Structure 1
Amino acid sequence: MPESQLLSVEELNGFGVGPVSINLATGERLAIMGVSGAGKSLLLRLLADLDPGEGRVVLAGEPRETIAAPDWRRRVMLVPAQAGWWAPTVDGHFELSMMDTAVAMAARLLLPPDIMKREVRVLSTGERQRLALIRALARRPEVLLLDEPTSGLDPAATEAVEALLVECSGKGIGIVMVTHDAMQARRMADRTFTMHQGRLTPA
């Protein structure tokens, strides 16, 4: 495997998806577009090992079957369109060692200074989206799988998120992003793919 190759996917099949073969280089940003129901979100779930599937998936030279599922999901982390929240306040979702990093990212993403102390139930959709991204990045994944990460954001917040993602990819994180925004794909992606009936083709 080339040193720059981070994630290798061969003949991946699952419910509504496949076969899909694709490679992601270290620090590369891929965009996936397509109509609703094409299988984009299902593909991200397959890559994160959240749904059953068949095929060969290798991360930094390590086959997925040799990595415990919780460890895989920490290294190949999915940020879904609607993330889950289990604690009443935002700070309950972050380990103490992550707080400084999380607070700094929150400021960069134009979130209020007291956001970590707020109750989740009062957050807007856009605030939740940005906090879910921060929650993932604070755990330092090797691959970040993003499902419509800016769909609920205004232009300023979208620009802030995109800038942070470009910076993270510059540090080596591989990013696979589902988006319906063709302009965003042009701005963000090193390569763009279209998904149709569960299969990927270069856009």
Structure 2
Amino acid sequence: MSAVTINGISKTFDGKVAVKEVNLDLRDGEVLGIVGPSGSGKTTLLRLVSLLIHPDSGIITIQGVNAEGSQEHRRRLRTQTAMVFQYSALFDTNIFNNVALGLKIRGFGKREIETRVRDMLGLVKLSELEKRRANTLSGGEAQRVALARALVVQPKVLLLDEATANLDPKNVEIIEGLVRRANVESRTSVIIATHNLNQARRLATRIAFLLDGELVEVGDTAEIYANPKDERTAAFIAGRMVW
């Protein structure tokens, strides 16, 4: 069973097509890289998978369950996923409370919340800052908190939208290491949307190339980089302008 299946998904905003008839699957336990230039539809596709927005047409299934249905159905299904955005989007409270929020919403007890949150803060190397308010953190620290908040709920599917785009190499290394760990140890299925081809190559099992909202090509990472089948994919991989 695929972790996520995307069948014929389309989405338009104010008459502009953001995603057009995309068919794609996230295999159970894999890391899928979605690459493409800015404005290619990567963020919209992730927001559709995370059930933050509805498609105009097409079907998304998560863990074999059709995402369409009542608001309550979508809310329950959304608990199978967690998303980290390009900007950390933390709440105006301390680090501990930010990381604990998803566990509280899911009804975990106080003791388990404390254990999970402190374990996760240790993994992101922020244990000593748990009482610091989010608005006092550096950009790298804030993004590590955002990742901790996503991983602490042990999602089946982790979605990363340019999550390291504005970070220094040290923070990128920490975040990539945690993504690998979640994928290998917890079998978390991961979608990484990025224009960083080196990062996609390091982390992804397969690569999907989006351009102008359309899925141009998808394949194993090594094959996409060494022998892309579409000339637009080849141009993007080579760093040339793609129209």
Q: Given the two structures, how large is their TM-score scaled by the length of structure 2? A: 0.75
- 5+ long unaligned stretches in structure 1: none
Conservation of the 8 A alpha-carbon contact between 1:110 and 1:157: no
**Which runs of structure 2 are paired with 1:83-102 in the superposition (5 Å)?**
83-93=88-98, 94=100, 95=104, 96=110, 97-102=112-117
**1:30-74 Cα shifts (integer Å, max 9, x gaps):** 111111111111111111111121211112221112571222222
Q: How many corresponding residue pairs?
A: 199
**Which runs of structure 2 are paired with 1:1-203 in the superposition (5 Å)?**
3=1, 5-15=2-12, 16-53=18-55, 54-65=57-68, 68-93=73-98, 94=100, 95=104, 96=110, 97-111=112-126, 113-170=127-184, 171-200=186-215, 201-202=217-218, 203=224
Partner of 2:227: none
Partner of 2:68: helix, strand, or coil? helix
Which 4+ runs in 1 deviate beyond 3 A? none
Partner of 2:58: helix, strand, or coil? strand
Partner of 1:117: helix, strand, or coil? coil
Once superposed, what is the RMSD of the aligned Cα atoms? 1.8
- 5+ long unaligned stretches in structure 2: 13-17, 105-109, 219-223, 225-243
- Once the two structures are TM-superposed, the CA of residue 83 in structure 1 deviates from its matched residue by 3.5
Larger radius of gyration: 2
Partner of 1:85: helix, strand, or coil? coil
Conservation of the 8 A alpha-carbon contact between 2:183 and 2:190: yes
Distance 1:100 1:149 in 2: 26
Partner of 2:183: helix, strand, or coil? helix
Q: Given the two structures, how large is their TM-score scaled by the length of structure 1? A: 0.89
| Identity across matched positions, percent | 31
Distance 1:152 1:100 in 2: 30
